[in-house]
Amino acid sequence: MKDLSNENIIQFEKNGVSYLQFRKLNEYNKYIRHAYSLGKELNYKTRAGNRNLSENEIEKAILAYEKLCKNIDIEPINIVKANQKHTANVKVAREKINKDKMDLFEDYYKETDGLVTNTPNLALTTTSADCISLLFYDPVKKVIANTHSGWRGTAQKISVNTVRKMFEGFKCEPKDIICCICPSIRKCHFEVDEDVKDIFENEFPSLMQMKEIVEKNEKTNKWHIDTVLINKLILEEVGLKPENIIDSKICTMCNSDVLHSARVEKPNYGLNTAIIEKI
């Protein structure tokens, strides 16, 4: 398998499982554990948050979580999964709902795309297949968060909502918060029609004047939008330090041979998993 390691990301292969970790978060490995799944060996086909899964697909998902968790010293039973409906909703996870199994498809996390906690041994989990997963850590207050931000979530500023939830719930100061941007579709491949472009223009009128963020493809009459850069800039606006916003610099479509991409795989796409736990 090709190595996606760069100055911000390091790739690991252990027991037949490949995964990525952020170098910055590894500086705090006495306090947190994290990973982003890599490779199709953790393959299961489902739409994020879909409660109508077959028993077979649920079993595949649980097996995938178990494989990843065991390689990063997380107990699989600790998983707390956001149901993910492309909302801007962020919830605080204070304790496990199920004592004897993973917290999957729980009503408490219905219509939820971001999770925050300061409770040890809650493995906050999101899945994606082109959307952005954002891993947050405040090393001062020892608070973690995991947020799913597709283009709809980005337009609704769910990353900013996560920071606000960390402040409201745990008095986290934005200047202390680290945000790591997991692999996702990038501007090179995120091409949209005018209706989606207009949504971003209405929400971010000044940002959408920047060529770095939006460019029109005259051949296709569509627009390329940089949702990663939008998240960086709006997080800076609420007080995160630029040096604390760490980008994986990895495009899921450019690397669809080792990462799941909904635009490449079409309807029955697989999912990549992002996970973070406070020890």
CA 246 to chain centre: 13
Q: What is the pLDDT of residue 57?
A: 78
Q: What is the pLDDT of residue 53?
A: 66
Low-confidence ranges of the chain (pLDDT < 70): 40-53
DSSP 264: H
Q: CA distances (Å), 44 to each of 2, 77, 129, 174, 270, in order?
A: 21, 19, 11, 36, 5
Place of tokens 């993910």: 84
Q: What is the pLDDT of residue 47?
A: 46
Q: What is the pLDDT of residue 49?
A: 44
Q: What number of CA atoms fall less than 13 Å from residue 163's CA on the CB side?
A: 22
Q: What is the pLDDT of residue 40?
A: 63
Report the run of H or E that residue 237 belongs to, with start and end. helix 227-237
Q: What is the pLDDT of residue 234?
A: 98
CA distance 29 to 1: 26
Q: What is the pLDDT of residue 59?
A: 86
Q: Are the C-beta atoms of 114 and 82 separated by less than 8 Å?
A: yes
- Domains annotated for the chain, with CATH where assigned, are 9-188+227-278 (3.60.140.10), 191-225 (no CATH)
Q: What is the pLDDT of residue 1?
A: 83
pTM for this entry? 0.96
